[in-house]
Amino acid sequence: MYEELTKILKESDNIVFFGGAGVSTESDIPDFRSEQGLYNAQQTYGMSPEQMISHSFFLRDTETFFDYYKNNMVYPEAQPNPAHVALAKLEEMGKLKAVVTQNIDGLHQKAGSKTVYEVHGSVLRNLCMDCGAFYDLDYVMDPANCDGHVPKCSKCGGIVKPDVVLYEEALDEDQINGAVRAISAADTLIIGGTSLVVYPAAGFVNYFRGKHLVLINKSSTSMDHNAEVVIHDPIGQVLEEAVRNM
């Protein structure tokens, strides 16, 4: 299967990668929807992760939201893993045209990827809800800039909200449109590290009309039967070897 993937990469000129939490777990960022993540949220807060990072909960209990968010959604020490690096190399070679990611950690850009559509936003961008001032992650995480756990704007005193799409919020139209255009134009779509159960992002793959569909995920997905190549190995291992052998 690895040889077949390498062959596809060699003959493709317009590759798009669509990835989920499984890409970041290899950088030691846990999937908050995992059994462990669910257990931690229920034991500590008495709610599900989806409830904790919903728009309504953010408005209702901003202090507890940020307590959960900073301890479970933000990993500033995380570094790109071989999957991120391999994808950046494919882009540098002119093969990969875009990364579409459900992750919010910014590791694709940190690895060197230039064209990245972050359909669920990014923890690295934070905006004052009142005046729109921009703040980086360091500012939000610094207790000196917070009232309790809640980061406050140094200009107007408003709440600084992460540029992350919460449950009950709409996806960013520019990111959606860019992702759909990229996937629609691709000759090869590689889906990796996602079980394809989180919508509407998972529905993006329905726009693919190209030649090669590749699925790399530790567990089976609803799209396995449609894929030309299906590999159930760690994604970093798969992409690193496939790109190295090109």
Q: Are strands 15-19 and 121-128 parallel, antiparallel or unpaired?
A: unpaired
d(CA 231, CA 238): 8
Which residue is listed with tokens 């396995």? 224
Q: Are 229 and 8 in contact (CB under 8 A)?
A: yes
d(CA 154, CA 174): 28
* Known catalytic residue at 120: yes
d(CA 161, CA 102): 19
Measure CA of the first residue to CA of the last residue in the chain; give whole Å: 14
Catalytic residue among 55, 84, 108, 120: 120
d(CA 102, CA 201): 7
Give the list of residues 6+ apart from residue 148 with CB closer than 8 angstroms, or none. 63, 66
Q: What is the set of active-site residues? A: 120
